[in-house]
């Protein structure tokens, strides 16, 4: 599959942002420049990495300040869960995967999606060609590794859709078992574990990959969320945070090396192992999933069809007892 170019995505983003800025619904216009600086706290859902490069760049080059936002960015990850920080009102804005946000909404947390940044699923199953796996049907009877701590309904949906019976092997965030042939295939993120596999010495042409979005399982992931009360109290702040963040992504994709250096700064601050080539790869893959070619939606939009697809999987596998109304989620 051909990847979307950085320049292509930047052009799409600029067009989308220009439309947003002209829209009456955007509210405020240039009014933010006349407002006193508004304090806000933001936490991404994972450790610093290029998955969040747009937010770091918006902070580093003063875009949030331009919009009148005095922002503090905290580090996320297992020890500082973004969803918990939002619920406890220790953060005004967070990023969450769509599935995680729907689950919390269904369980009573009054959070809302104010921008769907990811427009395409980054999940894929990868296998070595030497295992005899060339097509989806060849996965039948194989051992497939999936993340021990994540919701596995997406994998189970993929298997059910293709009538596959496999042996699932729970794994942590490592590719070692796959590299040692302890499993035949594994679920990975395109921008993360997949890179670790090809960086281990295995050539891409030695692998076969099944991207979920190419198999009618497009499950958009990262979005920006806040509590309903935050939006009701200051809708202009929420809209400005989204616009500033989108500008940050535009800048990151147009200034790749600068963006990667900024990401490495935040990784070092959080004492996270930093790998510059990996972060460069991740930024390019974020470009592919945030601004895919031939997308039916614009940056920031959450399609109801995508929402219902993800929510239905959560409901089918009893992660949630009921599906929240789409209109209450936005």
Task: Indicate whether 32 and 112 sit together in one domain.
Answer: yes
Out of 198, 215, 232, a domain closes at: 215
Structural domains counted in the chain: 2
Please tell me the predicted confidence (pLDDT) of residue 84.
95
Task: Indicate whether 271 and 251 sit together in one domain.
Answer: yes
CATH number of 136's domain: 3.40.190.10
Please tell me the predicted confidence (pLDDT) of residue 151.
60
CA 214 to the chain's CA centroid: 17
Please tell me the predicted confidence (pLDDT) of residue 150.
56
Task: Indicate whether 209 and 72 sit together in one domain.
Answer: no
Please tell me the predicted confidence (pLDDT) of residue 292.
87
Out of 184, 215, 246, a domain closes at: 215
Mean pLDDT of the chain: 88
pLDDT tens for residues 31-70? 444 456 899 999 999 999 999 999 999 999 999 999 999 9
Task: Indicate whether 237 and 251 sit together in one domain.
Answer: yes
Task: Indicate whether 113 and 235 sit together in one domain.
Answer: yes
Please tell me the predicted confidence (pLDDT) of residue 3.
41
User: Which segment of 215-219, 229-233, 306-310 scores lowest on mean pLDDT?
Assistant: 215-219
Taking residues 195-211, what's their average pLDDT? 95
Task: Indicate whether 197 and 309 sit together in one domain.
Answer: no
Taking residues 79-88, what's their average pLDDT? 95
Task: Indicate whether 242 and 271 sit together in one domain.
Answer: yes
Whether 218 has a pLDDT exceeding 90, the answer reads no
Task: Indicate whether 285 and 238 sit together in one domain.
Answer: yes
Out of 168, 184, 215, a domain closes at: 215
Please tell me the predicted confidence (pLDDT) of residue 287.
95
Task: Indicate whether 111 and 253 sit together in one domain.
Answer: yes
Taking residues 213-240, what's their average pLDDT? 95
pLDDT tens for residues 146-174? 986 656 778 888 999 999 999 999 988 78
Task: Indicate whether 116 and 224 sit together in one domain.
Answer: yes
Spell out the long-range contacts of 167-172 with Cβ–Cβ below 8 A and sequence spacing 24 or more: 167/141, 167/142, 167/143, 168/143, 168/144, 169/143, 169/144, 169/145, 170/145, 170/146, 171/145, 171/146, 171/147, 172/147, 172/148
Rounded Cα–Cα distance for residues 88 and 98 (Å)? 20
Task: Indicate whether 225 and 80 sit together in one domain.
Answer: yes
Taking residues 215-227, what's their average pLDDT? 93
What Cα–Cα distance (Å) separates residue 192 from each residue in 175, 187, 201, 269, 284?
10, 11, 16, 20, 11
Please tell me the predicted confidence (pLDDT) of residue 5.
44
pTM exceeding the 0.85 threshold for the entire prediction: yes
Provide φ and ψ at 300, rounded to 5°: 100, -20
Please tell me the predicted confidence (pLDDT) of residue 23.
36
Rounded Cα–Cα distance for residues 318 and 312 (Å)? 10
Residue 142: inside a domain: yes
Residue 1: inside a domain: no
Domain of residue 135, residue span: 123-215
Task: Indicate whether 167 and 87 sit together in one domain.
Answer: no
């Amino acid at each position: 599959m051909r990847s979307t170019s950085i320049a292509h995505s930047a052009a799409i983003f600029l067009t989308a942002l220009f439309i947003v800025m002209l829209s009456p619904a955007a509210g405020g216009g240039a009014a933010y420049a006349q407002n006193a600086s508004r304090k806000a706290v933001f936490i991404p859902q994972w450790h610093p990495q290029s998955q969040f490069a747009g937010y770091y760049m918006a902070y580093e080059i003063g875009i949030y300040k331009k919009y009148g936002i005095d922002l503090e960015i905290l580090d996320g990850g297992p020890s500082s869960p973004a969803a918990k920080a939002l619920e406890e009102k220790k953060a005004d804005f967070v990023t969450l995967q769509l599935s995680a946000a729907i689950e919390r909404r269904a369980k009573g947390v009054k959070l809302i999606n104010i921008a769907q940044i990811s427009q395409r699923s980054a999940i894929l199953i990868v296998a070595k060609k030497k295992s005899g796996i060339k097509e989806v049907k060849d996965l039948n009877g194989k051992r497939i590794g999936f993340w021990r701590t994540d919701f596995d309904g997406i994998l189970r949906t993929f298997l059910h859709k293709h009538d596959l019976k496999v042996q699932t092997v729970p794994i942590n965030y490592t590719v070692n078992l796959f590299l040692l042939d302890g499993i035949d295939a594994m679920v990975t993120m395109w921008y993360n574990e997949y890179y670790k596999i090809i960086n281990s010495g295995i050539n891409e042409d030695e692998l076969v990959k099944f991207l979920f979005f190419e198999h009618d399982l497009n499950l958009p992931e990262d979005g920006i969320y806040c509590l309903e009360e935050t939006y009701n109290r200051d809708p202009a702040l929420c809209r400005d945070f989204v616009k500033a963040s989108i500008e940050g992504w535009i800048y990151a994709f147009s200034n790749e090396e600068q963006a990667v250096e900024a990401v490495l700064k935040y990784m070092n601050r959080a004492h996270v192992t930093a790998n510059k080539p990996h972060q460069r790869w991740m930024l390019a893959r974020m470009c592919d999933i945030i601004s895919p070619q031939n997308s039916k939606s614009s940056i920031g939009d959450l399609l109801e069809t995508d929402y219902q697809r993800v929510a239905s999987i959560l409901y089918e596998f009893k992660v949630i007892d009921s599906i929240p109304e789409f209109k209450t989620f936005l």
